[in-house]
Chains A and B, each alone.
Chain A
Amino acid sequence: MKALLIRDIRLAVRAGGGFGLGLAFFLIVIVMVPFAVGADTGLLSKIAPGVLWIGALLACLLSLDRLLALDFEDGTLDLLATAPLPLEAALSVKALAHWITTGLPLIIAAPVLGVLMNLPTQGYGWLVLSLLLGTPALSVIGTFGAALTVGIKRGGLLLSLLVLPLYVPTLIFGAEAARRGAAGAEVSTPMLLLAGISAATIALMPFASAAVLKVNLR
């Protein structure tokens, strides 16, 4: 498992893995927002938590199609499926690697981009905490979507159509927690629900992902 994790991270970081791409995309989305809605700092600071969340979510989504597709093409997934390691565990590790290479950099970059969006001072901690709790769920749900569409040529758009509705609850609670944090309100309810969603998806989604991947490898 550890070997698989290290291999995945290495592959993602080295050339062609698109390690920085998600981060760059996140930056570009955040830069585009003021052009679209105007440079009014009051407005920007009001929508900052939501925009940062949706940017992180889209950056996460974009990197999903390379999560399994490359391994599917060169046959690594067939090897993993026949290995003694359960496929559920292998997919959990892959989701973890995706989170480390995509989610974690986003979380680290989010406060910096928060400055650009004029995020209120008390919001930074809550924003980082909500992303920290929420992005693992995004990675795990995304793995399910990637496993579902791995056999389809040019499945990228379909992947978005399938995964985005599944992201709704996570986005609602995550953005709500960040928004309340920025407004200086009580955050524990959405934060706990967000943590609950993450815990449940981490526990259950690998089984669904492994089931559909087995169908696709048949």
Chain B
Amino acid sequence: MSLWEYANPVKFLRLSERVLPTLWVLAISSTVVGLVWGFFFTPDDIRQGSTVKIIYIHVPAALMAINAWFMMLVASLIWLIRRHHVSALAAKAAAPVGVVMTLIALITGAIWGQPMWGTWWVWDPRLTSFLILFLFYLGYIALWEAIEDSDTAADLTAVLCMVGSVFAVLSRYAVNFWNQGLHQGTSIPVATGERSVADVFFVPLLISMVGFGLLFLALTLYRTGTEIRLRRTKALLAREGRS
């Protein structure tokens, strides 16, 4: 019994079918609880008023936008090293989810920035590097779409994901150097454990972050299953056509 067993598509599908209903319930309920609690049952911030409530969408989406890319990187590495098709398909399935998360983070950030900073957009390092991340997602998805042979596409996108990761990190620091920011630093540093967010805001935020994480997991599992079935259908059709 090891993790690699689930590289077998049949086993993977069986597992995901067993896990998915629970996962959906957990993901949707914690997202809804986090958002509803955050929107309706938290006090307004002294300085920011009710706009502070955007945080319950903005921060979890931004978190998952980065983690989705990271997950794609790990899946790409597994594909390149161990040639498990499920892994390549999981990376492919995660990309559109990641791009939507990035877009949500960018748009909610703009909506939040308008009343707080007085502008929809500034060329701040964090904002800029997120926009660059968005472009990387677009390129990655476009490359998947452009290549017909699925193994070639998996190989090429995997290498692109690795090279892209290096350049995304490089861009992050280059952009830091290039322009000073308006965006605040993190309020919840994981490493030191000292956060500057009060509990009334933090608990629903945490629930919301967990909810977005589970939602990403559920969507990715579901989409991976779809990709596996799609490939099977194609194989069946090809066999039909030949005989």
For the side of the interface on A, what is the size category? 20 to 34
Contact yes or no, B146 A168, CB < 8 A? no
Encode A178-218 as 1/0 by CB contact (under 8 A) with B.
00000000000110010001000000010010011001101
Give A200 to B155 CA distance when docked, in angstroms: 23
Give A166 to B156 CA distance when docked, in angstroms: 16
Having A166-B163, A168-B132, A172-B178, one finds 19 other A-B pairs with CB under 8 Å, namely A148-B143, A148-B156, A148-B160, A149-B143, A152-B146, A155-B146, A161-B138, A162-B142, A165-B132, A165-B139, A165-B164, A165-B168, A172-B175, A176-B178, A190-B177, A208-B159, A212-B160, A215-B155, A215-B156
Q: Is B130 an interface residue (CB 8 A)?
A: no
Q: Which of A149, A193, A212 has its CB near the most chain B CB atoms (within 10 A)? A: A212
A-B contact pairs, 10 of them (CB 8 A): A161-B138, A161-B139, A162-B143, A166-B167, A168-B167, A168-B174, A172-B177, A172-B178, A190-B177, A216-B156
Give A164 to B156 CA distance when docked, in angstroms: 17
Q: Is A144 an interface residue (CB 8 A)?
A: yes
For the side of the interface on B, what is the size category? 20 to 34
Q: Is A120 an interface residue (CB 8 A)?
A: no
Q: Is B152 an interface residue (CB 8 A)?
A: yes
Give A65 to B147 CA distance when docked, in angstroms: 17
Contact residues of B with A, CB < 8 Å? 132, 135-136, 138-139, 142-143, 146-147, 152, 155-156, 159-160, 162-164, 167-168, 170-171, 174-175, 177-178
Contact yes or no, A165 B136, CB < 8 A? yes
Return the chain A residue nearest B159 by Cβ: A212
Contact yes or no, A151 B163, CB < 8 A? no
Taking the closest CB of chain A, its distance from the CB of B72, in whole angstroms, is 15
Return the chain B residue nearest A162 by Cβ: B139
Contact yes or no, A208 B163, CB < 8 A? yes
Taking the closest CB of chain B, its distance from the CB of A48, in whole angstroms, is 18
Taking the closest CB of chain B, its distance from the CB of A137, in whole angstroms, is 11
Give A173 to B178 CA distance when docked, in angstroms: 8
Q: Is A158 an interface residue (CB 8 A)?
A: yes
The contact of B170 among A161, A197, A205, A216, by CB within 8 Å, is: A197
Contacts of B171 in A (CB 8 A): 165, 168-169, 172
Interface of B is mostly: helix
Give A164 to B142 CA distance when docked, in angstroms: 14
Given A151-B152, A216-B156, A173 and B142 contact (CB-CB distance below 8 Å) = no
Contact yes or no, A212 B155, CB < 8 A? yes
Give A109 to B175 CA distance when docked, in angstroms: 28
Return the chain B residue nearest A163 by Cβ: B139
Contacts of B160 in A (CB 8 A): 148, 162, 212
Mark out the residues of chain A between 27 and 69 whose CB falls within 8 Å of any chain B CB in the assembled complex.
Answer: none
Taking the closest CB of chain A, its distance from the CB of B169, in whole angstroms, is 10
Contact yes or no, A158 B146, CB < 8 A? yes
Give A40 to B160 CA distance when docked, in angstroms: 42
Contacts of A197 in B (CB 8 A): 170
Return the chain A residue nearest B163 by Cβ: A208
Contact yes or no, B147 A152, CB < 8 A? yes
The contact of A165 among B135, B143, B162, by CB within 8 Å, is: B135
Return the chain A residue nearest B141 by Cβ: A161
Taking the closest CB of chain A, its distance from the CB of B147, in whole angstroms, is 7
Q: Which of A164, A165, A215 has its CB near the most chain B CB atoms (within 10 A)? A: A165
Give A155 to B155 CA distance when docked, in angstroms: 17
Contacts of A148 in B (CB 8 A): 143, 156, 159-160
Return the chain B residue nearest A141 by Cβ: B167
Contacts of A149 in B (CB 8 A): 143, 146
Given A172-B175, A172-B178, A215-B152, A164 and B135 contact (CB-CB distance below 8 Å) = yes
10 smallest beta-carbon distances between A and B, as pairs: A169-B174, A215-B155, A172-B174, A165-B135, A162-B139, A169-B170, A168-B171, A172-B178, A161-B139, A166-B167
